[in-house]
Structure 1
Amino acid sequence: MVFFTCLFFGFIIASSGSITPSFLNLTVVKFSLKSGRKSAFYLIGGFATVLFFQANIGAYFSSILMKNSQYITLIQKIGTAILILLSINFFRLYFTSNKQVKKVKIEKSKAYMHGIGMSLLNTFAIPFYFTSISLLIGLGYFEYSLQNSFYFSIGSTIGSFTLYALYATVASKIEHKLTFIATKMDFILGCLTGVVGIGNLIYLIYFK
């Protein structure tokens, strides 16, 4: 019963976190349009590999960091710096790259490693899981242990993979409708990471 409970909460939390626009699911759309659905699935596989460990780390932090809030602030500062650097890079790509969307064959291994790299840069994941699991612990629905964390991570990995795969599938089926969006994808990613990064910076300056 504990296995299914942890699996269920992992799936639901990861799905809800993946369904909203972010640089990961927008990258999946962009990748699917440029390189095809199969390469996008390998990209998603890279995401899922890292996400499994991020969920475990988030669960562990939820049992430790609630008593040491200064570490959370440090993570927020590092994450904010990374987000701002990512935003600058996306804007650079948008203004220097060819706006024409072209099919580019990308090797599966490169797509997978690209997914791992992008997921490692996703500073939202660990704080997101930390916050979500802390809430579950507070409500009495989750008790931290290595086993429960493992089950939760399996559920969260399945949930995220499912949502990202849906993005990849939809992108390939309505490619003609998403072409305009794809040409603006780097700009959208730059705006998203920039807004969140600046928002975090303002929060750290005025509310910490």
Structure 2
Amino acid sequence: MTSLVCIVLGFLVAACGSLTPSFLNLTVVKFSLRCGSKSAFCLIAGFATVLFFQANIGAYLSSILMENSEYITLIQKIGTAILLLLSINFFRLHFTHKEKMKKKEIEKSKAYSHGIGMALLNTFAIPFYFTSISLLIAMDFFEYSYLNSLYFSIGSTAGSFTIYAVYAVLAGKIEGKISSLGSKMDLILGSLTGVVGLGNLIYLM
């Protein structure tokens, strides 16, 4: 496979995964509204750093764990527990933080660290890449190797960064129209993570 094909595949897979509503892209919107676009981009850089390694791990697991699905189930169980805990925390923030939202720049390093922490909590990224790459392998679109995995991860990092950046920019552009959304962002995030967490819990049971 050529490096360009791997990069394009990684970009498309990550872009499609990042388009759907999740606590990561909604956190980008929240950061953009509350802290400004600069802080949001630092947050996204933190996301991208972790996603690069998660894509690598997902590609590696796709070549090993096809016959050991119990490990994927374990990851899903851990991810479900984390989502439910995040949901409780977001609801806590919504019902206890009643101050009017004020835009406040935060340190770039703090925003970057926050992005790394949030991305690490996103335990569904690895199963997502594992499933996507396994499907590509089954369709003969991708052949696993360390080099191909590296190129795929570069493309996926670029794809995720691009989509999250669009969220950040759009949130800033239409800030006036969605100002009321900003005050309800924690409620929305809590509802989203709660629904996904409960859905996964029902599936696992």
Give the TM-score normalised by the residue count of structure 1.
Answer: 0.96
How far apart in 2 are the matches of 1:55 and 1:99? 38
Q: Please give the per-residue CA displacement for 1:124-168, whole angstroms capped at 9, x wherever unaligned.
A: 211110110000000001111110000000000000000101111
What is the identity, as a one-letter code, of the residue corresponding to 1:125?
A
> SS of the counterpart of 1:175?
coil
- Counterpart in the other structure of 1:172: 172
- Counterpart in the other structure of 2:21: 21
How far apart in 1 are the matches of 2:92 and 2:14? 30
- Counterpart in the other structure of 2:182: 182
- Counterpart in the other structure of 2:81: 81
How far apart in 2 are the matches of 1:61 and 1:37? 35
CA contact (8 A) 2:11 2:157 kept: yes
CA contact (8 A) 2:76 2:124 kept: no
- Counterpart in the other structure of 1:46: 46
CA positional deviation for 1:99: 4.8
How far apart in 2 are the matches of 1:70 and 1:103? 45
Q: Please give the per-residue CA displacement for 1:151-188, whole angstroms capped at 9, x wherever unaligned.
A: 00000000000010111111111101111111111111
CA contact (8 A) 2:49 2:116 kept: yes
Q: In structure 1, list runs of 5 or more residues that go unmatched.
A: none
How far apart in 2 are the matches of 1:147 and 1:99? 50
- Counterpart in the other structure of 1:194: 194
RMSD over aligned CA atoms reads: 0.9
How far apart in 2 are the matches of 1:24 and 1:98? 23
Q: Please give the per-residue CA displacement for 1:112-131, whole angstroms capped at 9, x wherever unaligned.
A: 00000010011221111011
Matched residues, number: 205
- Counterpart in the other structure of 1:69: 69
What is the identity, as a one-letter code, of the residue corresponding to 1:53?
F
CA contact (8 A) 2:84 2:198 kept: yes
Identity %: 73
How far apart in 1 are the matches of 2:154 and 2:99? 38
Q: Quick check: 1:57 aligned with 2:57?
A: yes
How far apart in 1 are the matches of 2:72 and 2:43? 29
How far apart in 2 are the matches of 1:80 and 1:176? 35
- Counterpart in the other structure of 1:137: 137
How far apart in 1 are the matches of 2:200 and 2:81? 9
- Counterpart in the other structure of 2:117: 117
CA positional deviation for 1:70: 1.1
How far apart in 2 are the matches of 1:40 and 1:88? 23
Q: Please give the per-residue CA displacement for 1:98-118, whole angstroms capped at 9, x wherever unaligned.
A: 252111120000000000001
How far apart in 1 are the matches of 2:173 and 2:76? 38
Q: In structure 2, list runs of 5 or more residues that go unmatched.
A: none
CA positional deviation for 1:69: 1.0
How far apart in 1 are the matches of 2:4 and 2:140? 16
Runs of 4+ in 1 over 3 A off after TM superposition: none
